[in-house]
Amino acid sequence: MKHIKRRERESSEIRRKIIEAARSLFLNQGYAEVSMRKIADQIEYSPTTIYHYFANKEAVVRELLLEGNTLFLQALQQREQEGRAAGLNALDMLKTVSDAYVRFGTANPEYYNILFISNLESVSLVSLFDSGRFKGFELLEAGLKAAMEEGCIIQGDVRLIARSVWSMLHGLTSLLLNFEFPMAKSNDELIAFTIDTFLRGLSR
């Protein structure tokens, strides 16, 4: 193991297969079902092989977490840039980024689960502040600050408000993922309505 350059190991094809298998198990069967042996079976390697690429199960899950973070941030940032390119005002920016948040969650349930729902104590080593969820949070805080400066929302403690917005977005996403039930209206309408309502509440 020692003579292999870190780079090569990390970009190994098997390494990718491993975390893809883990992700798929996570998605289809839940965290409890992600076992080293099941991953190994899925990629048709021996369980031992996994230990060649990851120190232990936690490391696999952590990788998944990091990957999810990256993709999550990318999704938010891309929509932000699109908004900026379209010349949106601060309020509409908030709206579009909020929408991006929920879309990411519903489109990538396995990642959203890993990031925000499963209480991965075993992975809490990844300290909260390293974790990309807080980069996403900073992005949100920045957006709110801008909106305050533009005068389109109320003045107030930015962190408090950001957390409040996040709560609304998280609740929306996680109920969509876990408790769908019959509604006359579509999920899209629910998403739009909830975000709009909350932001209207914030507006001056």
Inter-residue contact 63 to 125 (CB < 8 Å): no
Asked if 204 interacts with a second copy (CB under 8 A), we say: no
Element housing 79 (H / E):
helix 57-85
The candidate with the shortest Cα–Cα distance to 162, out of 127, 134, 197, is 134
**Closest approach of Cβ 20 to DNA, in Å?**
15
Token look-up 């929920």 returns: 102
Q: What angle do CA 159, 62, 42 make, to 5 degrees?
A: 140
Asked if 24 interacts with a second copy (CB under 8 A), we say: no
CB atoms within 10 A of CB 22: 26
Which partner, a second copy, DNA, none, binds residue 71 by CB below 5 to 8 Å per kind?
none
**Closest approach of Cβ 87 to a second copy, in Å?**
25
Asked if 52 interacts with DNA (CB under 7 A), we say: yes
Asked if 12 interacts with DNA (CB under 7 A), we say: yes
CA 122 to chain centroid: 18
Between the alpha carbon of residue 186 and those of residues 74, 161, 191, 194, the distances in Å are 26, 28, 9, 12
Scan residues 40-69 and list those touching a second copy (CB under 8 A): 40-41, 44-46
Asked if 183 interacts with a second copy (CB under 8 A), we say: yes
Give the binding-site size for a second copy (rule: CB under 8 A). Answer: 52
Question: Cα dihedral sign for 88, 199, 173, 20?
Answer: positive
Asked if 9 interacts with DNA (CB under 7 A), we say: yes
Instruction: Kindly report the backbone phi and psi dihedral angles of residue 153, in degrees, each rounded to the nearest multiple of 5, phi listed first.
Output: -125, 170
Q: Which is nearer to DNA, 31 or 137 (CB)?
A: 31
Q: Which residues bind a second copy (CB under 8 A)?
A: 1-4, 29-32, 40-41, 44-46, 116-117, 119, 121, 128, 156-157, 159-161, 163-164, 166-175, 178-179, 181, 183-185, 189-190, 193-194, 196-202
Q: Which residues bind DNA (CB under 7 A)?
A: 1, 3-5, 8-9, 12, 14, 33-38, 45-49, 51-53, 56-58
